[in-house]
Amino acid sequence: MHAVEIVDLFAGPGGLDVAATWLGIPVVGIELDDNACATRKAAGLRTTQGDVCDWGPENFPKANVLAAGPPCQTYTVAGSGTGRQDLNDVLTFAKRMANGEDVTADLKKLSDPRTALVLEPLRWVIRAIENERPYDAIILEQVPAVRPVWEVMDEILTGLEYSVDHNVLRTEEYGVPQTRRRAVLIARRKDKGKVDVTLPAATHHPYRKGVPRPEEAGGIKPWVTMGDVLRRPNPFVVVSNYGTGGDPKARGLRKSTEPSATVTGKISRNRVIAPDSTMLPRFTPAEAGQLQTFPADYPWSGRDIAQQIGNAIPPLLAAHVLVAALDLDPKLLNKWTAPRLPLWFETVGQ
């Protein structure tokens, strides 16, 4: 595809927008939160600050690609009855929207207004088609619990002349020094690509707890470790308390010779411990950002920086996803291997 420009809904501190910038693709993000906007401003990312619901495709006429990482909402809470009900509501609303119904009034009746946000990308897609300027490509990302919504989106987009692929991707399989699972959907208008769209192929081995780091085999590289990307002089162990089940003391325990556990908004609480049990300094925002593959000098700003970092899609994963969705040359990715990530200011020349 030529002359690509992305509008990124719920753009956060810029995980996807950093990837787009690396790939030389213009991007504008819509983001509500003052803190995320402070980071975006410091990073020089184009931003419209406000509520995604107040805007539409006609306000961003140059954008021919839609990206969105809506906030994780109540339905992500495992096993919660309310969560399941919210998810069912969302699926019903999506189908009604696809049938041309205006559900705005009904969405306002939902007990948690945030539930409706996951449907905003669909509202933008439908509006763009009504405006006779359908998006050439669409990229959606969320926690795995949202997969049923992406399944319905797949059906709807397929009926709207898009080629679609979606699945749960594991970030360490794309060279991110962190295990994190995300439901990703990509879609491309059937008249815009040579072949059907497919999610990016893994470039690195999946991580398995207790299994030694695999050698490179068949072009698939070993997973990238925390020690590979952080400039700490000695080995360490991180106690993150991430996850459920098993012995709480052993939960989320990761050595520097392994990828990090999922980076969340609570990463600043993780303990970092030397082999002789001495407590080491906790992760700085720069280090937490690096575990998400943000450049080491990314200018994190505002408050709640750990939350901003935990909210983001790892830019390296986003770069793989963009290359696949937009049918770009995969060689573009070669220079973005995690251990050699470029410094932000060198990259954007600020």
Distance CA 339, CA 77 (A): 34
CB of 126 to ligand SAM, least distance (A): 18
Is 14 a binding residue for ligand SAM by CB under 6 A? The answer is yes
* Cα 257 from Cα 235, distance rounded (Å): 8
Instruction: State the minimum distance, in angstroms, from the CB of residue 74 to ligand SAM.
Output: 14
User: Residue 26 or residue 193: which is nearer to ligand SAM going by CB?
Assistant: 26
| 217, 192 contact by CB (below 8 A) | no
Q: Examine residue 33 and tell whether it contacts ligand SAM (CB under 6 A).
A: yes
If one asks whether residue 32 binds ligand SAM (CB under 6 A), the answer comes out as yes
Residue count of the chain: 350
- State in angstroms the smallest separation of the CB of 34 from ligand SAM: 9
Q: Are 139 and 325 in contact (CB under 8 A)?
A: yes
Please, which of residues 112-141 interact with ligand SAM by CB under 6 A? 117
Closest to ligand SAM by CB, 170 or 192: 170
Using the contact rule CB under 6 A, the part of the chain among 48-56, 164-172, 279-287, 324-332 near ligand SAM is 48-56
Rule CB under 6 A: choose which of 4, 6, 11, 139 binds ligand SAM.
Answer: 11
Candidates 52, 140, 153, 184; binder of ligand SAM (CB under 6 A) is 52
The piece of 50-58, 75-83, 228-236, 277-285 that touches ligand SAM (CB under 6 A) is: 50-58
Q: Which residues contact 141 (CB under 8 A, 6 or more apart)?
A: 16, 67, 68, 69, 182, 183, 184, 185, 313, 318, 321
Angle of CA points 96, 97, 102, to nearest 5°? 100
Give the CB-side neighbour count of residue 190, counting CA atoms within 13 A: 7
Taking CB under 6 A as the criterion, the residue among 179, 256, 264, 311 binding ligand SAM is 311
Segment interacting with ligand SAM (CB under 6 A) among 12-20, 176-184, 224-232, 322-330:
12-20
Output 17 or 172, the one with its CB closest to ligand SAM.
Answer: 17
* Contact flag: residue 229 with ligand SAM (CB under 6 A): no
Verify binding: residue 290, ligand SAM, rule CB under 6 A: no
C-alpha closest to that of 175 among 288, 30, 324, 319? 319
Residue pair 324/186 in contact by the 8 Å Cβ criterion: yes
By CB under 6 A, is residue 53 in contact with ligand SAM?
Answer: yes
Identify the residue whose tokens are 């192929």: 201
Q: Does 313 bind ligand SAM (CB under 6 A)?
A: yes
Site for ligand SAM in 68-97 (CB under 6 A): 69, 71
Which C-beta is closer to ligand SAM: that of 46 or that of 232? 46
With b meaning 16 or more CB within 10 Å and e meaning fewer, what string describes 32-64?
ebebbbbbbebbebbbbeeebbebebeebeebb
Q: Does 230 bind ligand SAM (CB under 6 A)?
A: no
Q: Residue 272 contacts by C-beta under 8 Å, 6 or more apart in sequence?
A: 236, 237, 238, 279, 280, 281, 282, 283
* Interatomic CA distance for residues 115 and 213, integer angstroms: 40
Which of 6, 16, 156, 237: binder of ligand SAM (CB under 6 A)? 16
Shortest distance in whole angstroms from residue 141 CB to ligand SAM = 6
Q: Which residues contact ligand SAM by CB under 6 A? A: 10-16, 30-33, 36, 51-53, 69, 71, 117, 311-313
